[in-house]
A and B are shown apart, each in its own frame.
Chain A
Amino acid sequence: MSQRSNESLRGVVLDERVTFTLSEFCQACGVETELIVEMVREGVIDPAEEAPEWRFHGHSLVRAQTALRLVRDLDVNWPGAALALDLLDELERLQRRP
């Protein structure tokens, strides 16, 4: 481990203020470019800036990683994962209300 436990780590909040290039995004997801392109084409994630210089918001990273797990573990297809993600977002929004 490179970090010792007594120093403070500064992370990045995955929201609209942070963006990733396509290659950073692929690396963070641990997948090849083709899979990200497929996710964009299927409407799972929307790039913050369009091709050729695709950039993605932090929120898209959370979405993409969740979609990858859903596809892997539940054998759903991309549109199915996108639907589940939208419903999960909605559920979370409702649950944060009184």
Chain B
Amino acid sequence: MKFKDYYEVLGVKRSASQDDIKRAYRRLARKYHPDVSKEPDAEARFKEMREAYAVLKDPEKRSAYDQFGENWKAGQDFQPPPDWGSKGERSSGGRAYGGAGDFSDFFETLFGQGGRGGFRYEAGGGRMRGEDASATISIPIEDAFRGATRTVSLEVPEIDSSGRLSRRRRTLNVKIPKGVTAGKRIRLENQGGPGMAGGAAGDLYLTVEFEPHPLYRAEGKDLYLELPVTPWEVALGRKVKVPTLAGTVDLKIPAGSGSGKTLRLKGRGLPGEPAGDQYVELKVVVPPAADAGARELYEKLEQEHDVNPRAKLGV
């Protein structure tokens, strides 16, 4: 077991006052709280902070922890002294709403399983409901269009034969419902941590994210596509082919459309009631005057149709 330097985790001196500790935790918690933070390792960092705070905010636990003195460094191999009794509540007397967070082995060895937030009390008879679990699932947009089954691998709490809570990796096949959009959560009832004493299992929440797509960008159920077009296609208002998730469709460009104009293909986005739309943003590409023929045509345009696109700029 590795020693944990709780002071280091919160970035405070060993001599810090209780107020300093509270302030440091609050500041860090706002930065790293997984519901708020965009930091990639927010969840792991926040777990550490909460554990550190659970010890240092409690004068009794803090003084017990302080007995180890400052010679201990984070990551050092650690065994508690043989006469060490657990310095904290043994039972999970935590807050009513669960997920108080599973603390490290280091914490549990020193202070018991008081930090275990693996259960939530359920009405009656000491039954305890399992912990909710959450994970992110990254899918291609096509899965949201057609529906699919995806494999999710996640760590779940489990009660081993000796009655201790441990973690194991679990692989699940999950149906991706048609029409799901990025940021939505899928709830899988009773697929979280196991309950105790006949309590129900917790639930599993999957947050859906879309993998970056080479063509489309999704905003809710709507899809956005950038469509390269030639100057004459937009000037003359031609019919062009456009890819959609359901296949290629023809799109008539209104004559005289400018670059950046956005056209809407109604109902061609992600399915739903109503279905999303696909927005097609025209991007005029100008072919280079690569050969004599092309050059001649450009020159003819120049001579016979001389326009000043910068007139509005006063030049």
Residue numbers of A with Cβ under 8 A of B are 1-3, 5-15, 27-32, 35, 58, 61-62, 65-66, 68-70, 72-75, 84, 88, 92, 96-98
Contact = CB atoms under 8 A, between A and B. Distances in A.
Contact of B29 (A7, A73, A96): A73
B98 interface: yes
12 contacts: A1-B170, A5-B173, A8-B173, A13-B186, A14-B187, A15-B184, A30-B97, A58-B187, A72-B100, A73-B33, A96-B182, A96-B183
Nearest to A28: B203
B177 A13 contact: yes
A30 to B, nearest CB: 4
B177 A74 contact: no
B313 to A, nearest CB: 26
Contact of A84 (B36, B156, B158, B217): B36
Contact of B30 (A9, A10, A69, A74): A74
Contact of A13 (B170, B184, B204): B184
B26 interface: yes
B185 A62 contact: yes
Contacts of B63: none
| Across the A-B interface, the 9 shortest Cβ-Cβ residue pairs | A11-B186, A30-B120, A11-B188, A8-B173, A14-B185, A10-B175, A68-B97, A5-B171, A31-B97
Chain B interface category by residue count:
35 or more
Contact of B35 (A13, A58, A61, A88): A88
A30 B172 contact: no
Interface of B: 26, 29-30, 33, 35-36, 46, 50, 95-100, 120, 129, 132, 149, 156, 158, 170-175, 177, 180, 182-191, 194, 201-206, 217-220, 224
A69 B100 CA distance: 9
A30 B99 CA distance: 10
Contacts of B187: 11-14, 28, 58, 61
A31 to B, nearest CB: 5
Contact of B175 (A11, A28, A32): A11
Nearest to B117: A72
A25 to B, nearest CB: 12
